[in-house]
Amino acid sequence: MNIIETANYEEMSRKAADYLVKLVSAKKDAVLGLATGSTPHGLYSEMVEDHKMNGTSYEQIRTVNLDEYIGLPSTDPNSYHTFMRKRLFDWIDIKSENTHIPNGQAGSLEKECLRYEQMIENLGGIDLQVLGIGHNGHIGFNEPGTSFNSSTHVVELAESTKKANSRFFASLDEVPTQAITMGIKTIMKSKEILLLVSGSSKAETLQKLIHGPFTEDFPASILQRHPNVTIIADQDALSLLRINK
């Protein structure tokens, strides 16, 4: 794993944006795997800023998102569809037909999972997958105990995840209990992974990811086995690790 330490959240976001912009400029039709949560907010703002200032084009870029809540209409302010539009897609020249997010309102969720997995394959796979991480080591919405062999599937959200994400909703009761997420195997098929981690509350999680046991009880430990992972993390997140600068 390649670890890049930054002074703070802002620098992490800038470095991550530089990373993505470099890829997008080199491969005009790249397939980007995108993430939600608070961690990539700064990354998306920086990409929008770069698009405005430097004209980086996303005209032929395709995107696939990790996950979506089940039961929220795509127009709901808390859906990941809305998140992506508001934070990124509305501000760059990407074509909406090239952006893909699981449909959490599909009539048959089982068929939707199969469709999503096949769609990623039809695009030729993911060139670079951006990831955040949950405190319990979840990636996408793959909670502890998820099979490392999983493809896109429906999950029951862990109580701790619902609590953590309730900050975006009016109350805990409004947080959906289920989601569709790319599986661990789906994520691992990405040619490259860029993991962003910020803040002291994630220090223990990051320490476990790097030095902890390889176990389905800690989904992110799978990244120890991916051949091309870059972690951009701030000092606070790296505070329990000693790395050579």
Among 6, 36, 129, 205, the residue binding ligand GLP under the rule CB under 6 A is 36
Catalytic residues: 67, 136, 138, 143
**Site residues for ligand GLP, window 60-79 (CB under 6 A)?**
66-67
Region of 42-50, 51-59, 133-141, 221-229 interacting with ligand GLP (CB under 6 A): 133-141
At 27 the three-state DSSP class reads coil
Nearer to ligand GLP, 50 or 143 (CB): 143
Among 3, 20, 30, 35, the residue binding ligand GLP under the rule CB under 6 A is 35
Rg (CA), the chain: 17
- Least Å distance between CB 64 and ligand GLP? 13
Among 37, 42, 102, 104, the residue binding ligand GLP under the rule CB under 6 A is 37
- Tracing tokens 């998140």 back to the chain, one arrives at 83
- Least Å distance between CB 116 and ligand GLP? 15
- Distance in angstroms (rounded) separating the CA atoms of residues 102 and 115: 9
Q: Is 102 in the site for ligand GLP (CB under 6 A)?
A: no
137: left (phi over 0), alpha (psi -120 to 50) or beta: left
The closest alpha carbon to 182, from 222, 217, 235, 211, belongs to 222
Among 13, 129, 151, 161, the residue binding ligand GLP under the rule CB under 6 A is 161
The closest alpha carbon to 49, from 87, 12, 81, belongs to 87
The closest alpha carbon to 22, from 131, 128, 133, 120, belongs to 128
Among 132, 137, 176, 183, the residue binding ligand GLP under the rule CB under 6 A is 132
DSSP classification of residue 190: S
- Distance in angstroms (rounded) separating the CA atoms of residues 50 and 44: 10
Binding site for ligand GLP (CB under 6 A): 35-39, 66-67, 132-134, 140-141, 161, 165
